[in-house]
Structures are given as structure tokens and as C-alpha cells.
Amino acid sequence: MTRPSRPETGATARSLTSHTISSVSWLGLLQVATIAMQLCFLASVSRLLDPASFGTFAIAGIVLRLVSYLADLGLGAALVQAPRLTPLMIRQAHGACIAAGLALTGVVLAIAKPLASLTHQKGAVGVTAALACVFVLDAFGTTPSSMLRRRHDFRRIALAEGVSYAVGFLAVGIPCAALGLGAYSLVAASLVQTTTRSVLLLTLAGGPHVPALPTKDMAGLLRFGTAVSGIGFLEFWSSNLDSAMVGRVGGATQLGEYNRASSLVGLPLQYLGQTITRALLPAFARGSVLQVRRGLDYGLSLLSAACIPVLALASVAAHPLVTTVLGPRWRTAADILPIVCVAVLFNTLTQVPAVACEGQGLLRQKASIQMVHMSIVIGGLAIAVAIKAGLFAFALVWLSGEVVRHVGYLALIRARFGVTLRSLGQSYGSACAIAVPAATAAIAVCHVLSGVAALAVVVIVCPLLLLGTVATRPAWPVRRATRQLHLTDRLPLRQARPLIERLVA
């Protein structure tokens, strides 16, 4: 289902580049606030709830993600990728999303008990049932979110997500956890966050939002959306089998440790990856091969430069990081965090080529890569269960699958878009060169200090080393991407510099 690329004109290239720059800038600035709120929530709730509560919620989350890829029938991605849309098609897509959300709410209520029993976690039944209405609540925000993405209006999307996170998780989730509601405090936070996000998106996007019954005009959108949903379903299984198996074999407590380790580093970087890939998807969908190759180069350079140094520091300072942020009872999470960091790195970097392939309609190739990924994960989990391995082995299985999937996507973008090994080596090599001095310093600090003192020194000293390394020659690909996209020109501090200079004078 490959979509032919459009020829690139100067005006088109400048327009796409300008939109992408603005998107990345706004998303980046507002997502920093979201990540800060996320870390605040993790630090607070991890001290109020025990690992079993997080494990129970994680089991319910697996059940929900099982059907979440069918929630919007893939119409969210189809609306962004479609070359032409009419107001009627938008209304029909909105109606189809709401109908699918209602149907899936009923499905989850029906399958909550049998699916939870498969993992031997009967306590997850009530939590899963309570979370079932997330689908219909989220469905109201799918179409307005897609239309904002199509218009490159990521400022409003990020605003809706940031405000909804603050309302749901900080204003509702933390007080509920303090009141002793356990896993249901996370349920309340999720429901309030989803409701707030959908209401804000409906308000900010404008019309048309009156649902309409689907007609044959929807056939093209549904074909593309169904393919995207099918691939997403494969991604679910390959990405969540390890968590499901930990819950079945090790119980809610071990799953809670496993889940917190992945969430501590995975959720902030997931936001970062989404910031870049969501901004690039419209350009990937409408760009030429040259534009896609350029977007891949810039996207991988920026994302690897942001992820590799941060994850290297998190791996080195795993124990002081976990005990300081989550609390002293999460030591098992600290033990597996270095492996989790490497797995999260490959998972995050894969987002860029995966979105490029989706934007260009390479869905069959994506499905093939996911099938190979799933085979690796299933084989690894079977071995881990057979030898009665611990969390460390399950984390290694996750890492192995992510490495194989990332290599598969790199091979695909080389063949389809002409991305060279040299450019990939420069992107990843420059990020590693930036990370080495800071990671070396962090190792020395952790040998001398421990706990909060070690983390404090790492947080103060290592960023200075990172910034200093960015100015060196090995970091040239990162600086080139930043300069070509004029990202620093969009920073509010730089725009306000003339005013600051006048005030100082």
C-alpha cells in the first residue's frame, strides 16, 4: 500500500519545513512542562502506593491496550495522512470513532474477568471495568486531535495534553492516593485526564464535530485505518507480552517493580519521541523522498542526542535515581533499570523510521517487521519461563526484541529512502560522544557518593559536561540539525533577548 511521493518544489519544501519547525518548537516547550509534572506525580504516588497497586493497574492497562488499537479504527492516522478531506468525511470519521469507543467499552466490560484471570490477578477485574469508559471518553477527542495535527497546530494539542495531565494526575490522582484509594486513584486520574483532554480538544479544534453516519466516501480512510490498527495490534502483543508474563509468573508486586522501572525512564522519553514524530508525520505523509530522508536525518540526530546521554546517566545512577525519585522500597526496579534504559532507547528511536514508513504508506513492510519482532519476544519469553528466570531475564527479552525491530526499520529506510550508514553512524555516534564524558563523571561520582548526594552531584555536574560536549566537533550532526531547523530561533528567551538587553541597559 505504498503511496507515491509528490515532487518537491521550493515552496512546498519551505512550507513543510516551516510547519515542522513550529510544531517541534511548540511541542518541545510544552512537553517539558508535562514531563516535569509526570516526574512529580511518579515521585509522589510511588511513596503513597505499594508495588502491588501499580501491578494491578498495569494488568488492567494491558487489557485496555489489547483493544485500544481498535478504538478509533485507525481513523486518527488516516485523517492526518489523507490527501483530501471534506467536512462530511470528517463528521463521518467522528461518528465512527464514537461508535467504536462505545462498542469497545462494552467489549472490555465483557472480557475483563476472563483476561484478568489469565494473569492470576483477580483484583484487576474491578480496575479494568472502571477504566472501560476511557474508550468512549477518548473517542470524542480523536477527530479534533487529528485535524489539529493535520493543520500542524501542535501548540493547541500540547496545551490540551498538559492541562489535562495536571488536572487528572496532579489535582485528582495524588489526593486520591493520599486518601488510600490504591489502584483506583490511578483509575480516577486516568478518567479525569481523558475527559479533560477530549473537552479541550473539541473546544480548541473548532468544527465540524457533529457526528454523521459513514458512507462509501469513508472507504479509503477505513482501508488505511484498518491496516494501521492491525499493525498497532501486532505492536501491542510484541510490546506487552513481557509485562503480561511477569504478572502471570511473578505476581502483582514484581509486575509493579517492572512497570515502575520502565515508566521512570520510558514515559518522559515517550513524550519526547512523540513530540518529534507527531510533528514530522504530516511532513512525511506529504513530502518527497528527499524530504523524508532529510526528516529522518534530523529526527534521528535530535532524538538520539536527547535520549542517549540521558539514558546513559540513568543507567549509571540507577540506584540513587530510583531511591530518590520512587523511594527506598523500589530496589528491584533499580537493579533492572540499566537494561530497561537500553530497551527504552531502541524503542524511542524506532518511532522516527516507523512514523516515516506509516506516512509513506509502507504498511505491509511495517507488519512484516512487527511479526519478526513478535517471534523474537515469544521465543525469548518461552525460554525465560522454562528456566524460571527473574525480572532481569524478562528485561533482556524486551531489549532483544527492540534491537531486532530497530535494525529492521533501519534496513527498510535505507532501501526505500536512501538513508546511508554514514548518516546513521553520525547521528548515533555524535550522541554517544556527547554522553561519554558525562557518563564517566557519573560513574566516578557514584563510586564516591550514594543516595541523594550522588544524584544531586550528577544532576548539577553532568548537564554542564553535556553542554560543553555539544560545542565539540563530534556533536556536529546535532548542531547541524538544530541550525537547519532554526530551533533556537523559536525559543521564547531568544525572542525576548532585545527586551532583556534594553531592561539591563
pTM of the model: 0.68
Distance CA 247, CA 119 (A): 6
pLDDT score at 181: 87
pLDDT score at 12: 44
pLDDT score at 503: 38
Radius of gyration of the chain (CA): 22
pLDDT score at 172: 93
Distance CA 207, CA 410 (A): 39
**Helices assigned H by DSSP within 82-218:** 87-118, 124-131, 134-150, 154-165, 174-178, 183-205
DSSP, collapsed to helix, strand or coil, labels residue 184 as helix
Average pLDDT per block of 10 residues along the chain, 505 residues long: 42 48 58 76 83 79 67 71 78 84 84 66 77 86 85 79 90 91 89 92 79 71 70 69 77 79 79 67 66 82 85 89 83 89 92 84 85 90 87 91 94 91 87 86 85 80 72 64 57 46 42
pLDDT score at 70: 65
- Positive or negative, the CA dihedral 239, 237, 74, 227 is positive
C-alpha cell at 443: 560513574
CB-based burial, 489-505: b 16+ in 10 Å, e otherwise: ebeeeeeeeeeeeeeee
pLDDT score at 505: 42
Angle (CA) 29-35-37 rounded to 5° is: 110
**Helices assigned H by DSSP within 151-218:** 154-165, 174-178, 183-205
pLDDT score at 399: 93
